[in-house]
Amino acid sequence: MSSEKDPNECPFCNATSDCLHLLLIVDKTFRTADGGPLRKAFNSRWYAICVEQTKDDEDFDESEPFENLIEEVDSLSDATNGYDHEGGPGCSSEYQLFFCETQEKIKAAILSFEAT
């Protein structure tokens, strides 16, 4: 029996799926939000940034603006976990999960993120 903690595991309830504490799942490799109640707002802001930046610069370097969004989400969350998903060629990804201790904190985080 392994004593290693599952990197998908919620730090508050130990769930690995259907967790009420989950704020956001981000695929850092492909730069998309893949789950959580903040997913739609995160992807909308990320898309708007990309559209705005590529209007003037077709060689737009996404790394810094994407990391800035990640840092913003991190500041709104109470905990984070990460893991690497090893898929086939071109299908491996680095994931980061963000959690909030309460539903009230999740709602406040979403409102704050959308207001920015």
- Residues whose CB falls within 8 Å of the CB of residue 95, separated by 6 or more in sequence, listed in order: 25, 26, 27, 28, 34, 82, 83, 84, 85
Predicted confidence at residue 90, as pLDDT, reads 66
Predicted confidence at residue 69, as pLDDT, reads 97
User: Which amino acid type is present at position 34?
Assistant: D
The per-residue pLDDT string of the chain (116 residues; one tens digit each, 9 = 90 and over) reads: 444 667 778 999 999 888 999 999 999 999 999 999 999 999 999 999 999 888 877 788 888 999 999 999 999 999 999 888 776 666 778 999 999 999 999 999 999 999 98
